Each structure stands twice: as structure tokens, then as C-alpha cells.
């Protein structure tokens, strides 16, 4: 079943979501509010508006999806009030903006879903984790799930506090993977590989390994063991990476730092 939607913000994530909805037929009509209207995908189902004031006053969306940057929220979101009526669910993908922030804006009984997607949504391989207010019905949660599933996998948590470590792990996770690609390529270069070849090898290896992990039923530990021969070259590298001061302590400290920062941004 397709839905009507008001989309506030059509940057990279907003565009990825909108393209996913249009391709999947998830939406029948979208009012997309974006000051740079030229970047809004052209489709007869989409109305491109430069501001909320340009949205037809009688538009009654099933969902309002808020995709503006957190620092713009206090200015942009209040204008949505006329469109958040009975039966409308508010879905936010803004980091640091809590459920209470939106119920404060739109009313205590407003159904709100807070979601944390990540940038692989741009290629349909996103990971989004959500939580909702108690006022969100099963049908509204299902609608939010379908909207977010248009760009990848979706998981739900009951405890909103878990969104902070989610932000640290999956929200920032692509940056850590890209850092791994850079580090792997640089290490290869230092062992004599031409820089461009080292980067191509590193990109393909990380991308292929990720796809193998996605498709496999085996645990990540088992997949790692499948590559590792006793006394071999991979074992020599893992003895360094998994040794004292290796990757796990570094990731523990990094994710803890990101989680703390997410809580500071509330």
C-alpha cells in the first residue's frame, strides 16, 4: 500500500530515500521541501517546494519525514505543525534529536519514529535502526519501516538510549570502513605495491568481504577463520591486529568516544 508523504530536506540521504520510495512504489504522492529545488528528483508523484510555506495547505500526509541537519531543526521543523495531524507519523533521521524533542514540537500524543540510517543507503545497502513513541501504532511503525527499508536493512530497539551507540557503530561505521581501506592500501604501498594498485586491491577486498559477510550464514569469526591457515601469512598479520593494543581496544575506545559525543548532542 502506497502512502502520502511530506519530506523536509532532500540532501544526499533525503534523495536516496526518495529514489528508493519511487522505485519501490512506496509513496503515491510526496511534497519535497528543499531550498535547492533543482536537486529534487523529477517525477509526477513529487512536488518540489522551496519552503514549507509552498506546500498546499490542504495536503494531509500519512507521514512527515524530517531529513534536515540537526543544527537546522529549530528553524525548519516548527513550520511542519499544520501538516502533522491526527493519523500522521513523524519520522526523523536527524542525529541527536530525541523523541521528546519532536513531541515537544508537535504535541505529547504525536506518534514519532526516530531513525538512524547510514550513507550506504545511497546504493541501497543502508542500515537503519529505529525507536518509536508508545503512541505510534503498529500500522505507523510498519509504514516507517517500509519507508526506511527502501534503502536497506531496518532494525528496531525499544530503549531510545541505544540509539547513541547505534549512531557510533552504524552511523559512523562507513567512515571506519573507508579508513580501513585507506590504511590497508597505504600498508601495501609501504611494502612496494604501486599506490593505485594497492588502492584498487584494498577497495575490492573490503567490498567483496562485506558482500560475503552479508550473504553468508556463518559468523564473522568463522569467516575470518576460513581465511586463516595455522602458521600462515594471515595468521602473522592477525597476531598483530588481535594482539595487545590491537584493533579491539582501539575500536572499544573509538565507539565509546562516539557514543559519548552522541549523548552530548542531545
- What domains sit in the chain, N to C, each tagged with a CATH number? 3-163 (3.40.50.720), 171-264 (1.10.3730.10)
Residue 87 phi, psi dihedral angles, 5° rounding: 90, -5
Enter the C-alpha cell of residue 194.
604501486
From the CB of residue 2, how many other CB atoms can be counted at a distance below 10 Å? Answer: 14
User: Given pLDDT bands bounded at 50, 70 and 90, which one contains residue 21?
Assistant: very high
Statement: residue 2 has pLDDT above 90: no
The answer to whether 63 and 79 are in contact (CB under 8 A) is no
The answer to whether 195 and 189 are in contact (CB under 8 A) is yes
User: Given pLDDT bands bounded at 50, 70 and 90, which one contains residue 218?
Assistant: very high
- Residues 182-203 have a mean pLDDT of 98
User: Given pLDDT bands bounded at 50, 70 and 90, which one contains residue 266?
Assistant: confident
Cα(59)–Cα(32) distance, rounded to whole angstroms? 12
Q: 144-171, pLDDT tens digit by residue?
A: 999 999 999 999 999 999 999 999 999 9
Beta-carbon contacts of residue 49 (< 8 Å; ≥ 6 apart)? 31, 32, 33, 34, 37, 55
The answer to whether 39 and 63 are in contact (CB under 8 A) is no
Q: Following DSSP, what letter does each residue of 136-168 receive, concatenated?
A: --HHHHHHHHHHHHTTEEEEE-S-GGGHHHHII
Average pLDDT value for the chain? 95
Cα(49)–Cα(38) distance, rounded to whole angstroms? 10
- Residues 174-187 have a mean pLDDT of 98
Q: 32-90, pLDDT tens digit by residue?
A: 999 999 999 899 999 999 999 999 999 999 999 999 988 899 999 999 999 998 899 99
| pLDDT of the residue at 96 | 85
| pLDDT of the residue at 80 | 96
List strand residue ranges (DSSP E) for the chain, in order: 3-8, 27-33, 46-49, 63-66, 89-92, 112-116, 126-132, 152-156
| pLDDT of the residue at 86 | 84
- Residues 252-264 have a mean pLDDT of 94
Q: 80-119, pLDDT tens digit by residue?
A: 999 998 899 999 999 889 999 999 999 999 999 999 999 9
Does the pTM surpass 0.85? The reply is yes
Statement: residue 1 has pLDDT above 90: no
Beta-strand pair 63-66/46-49: unpaired
Cα(40)–Cα(34) distance, rounded to whole angstroms? 7
Beta-strand pair 126-132/3-8: unpaired
Cα(182)–Cα(21) distance, rounded to whole angstroms? 33
| pLDDT of the residue at 265 | 80
Using a 10 angstrom Cβ sphere, with 0-12 exposed, 13-18 middle and 19 or more buried, the burial of residue 18 is buried
Amino acid at each position: 500500500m502506497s502512502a502520502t508523504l511530506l519530506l523536509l530536506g532532500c540532501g544526499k540521504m533525503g534523495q536516496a530515500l526518495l529514489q528508493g520510495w519511487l522505485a519501490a512504489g512506496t509513496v503515491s504522492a510526496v511534497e519535497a521541501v528543499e531550498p535547492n529545488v533543482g536537486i529534487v528528483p523529477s517525477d509526477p508523484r513529487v512536488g518540489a517546494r522551496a519552503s514549507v510555506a509552498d506546500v498546499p495547505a490542504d495536503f494531509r500526509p500519512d507521514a512527515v519525514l524530517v531529513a534536515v541537519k540537526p543544527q537546522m531543526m529549530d528553524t525548519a521543523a516548527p513550520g511542519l505543525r499544520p501538516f502533522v495531524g491526527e493519523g500522521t507519523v513523524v519520522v526523523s533521521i536527524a542525529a541527536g534529536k530525541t523523541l521528546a524533542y519532536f513531541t515537544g514540537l508537535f504535541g505529547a500524543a504525536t506518534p514519532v519514529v526516530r531513525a538512524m540510517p547510514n550513507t550506504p543507503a545511497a546504493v541501497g545497502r543502508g542500515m537503519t535502526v529505529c525507536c518509536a513513541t508508545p503512541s505510534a501504532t503498529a500500522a505507523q511503525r510498519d509504514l516507517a519501516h517500509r519507508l526506511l527499508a527502501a534503502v536497506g536493512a531496518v532494525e528496531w530497539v525499544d530503549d531510545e538510549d541505544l540509539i547513541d551507540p547505534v549512531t557510533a557503530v552504524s552511523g559512523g561505521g562507513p567512515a571506519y570502513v573507508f579508513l580501513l581501506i585507506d590504511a590497508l592500501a597505504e600498508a601495501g604501498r609501504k611494502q612496494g605495491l604501486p599506490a593505485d594498485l594497492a588502492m584498487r586491491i584494498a577497495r575490492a577486498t573490503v567490498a567483496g568481504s562485506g558482500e560475503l559477510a552479508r550473504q553468508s550464514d556463518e559468523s564473522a569469526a568463522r569467516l575470518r577463520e576460513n581465511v586463516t591457515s595455522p602458521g600462515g601469512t594471515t595468521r602473522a598479520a592477525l597476531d598483530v591486529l588481535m594482539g595487545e593494543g590491537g584493533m579491539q581496544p582501539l575500536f572499544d575506545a573509538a565507539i565509546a568516544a562516539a557514543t559519548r559525543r552522541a549523548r552530548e548532542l542531545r
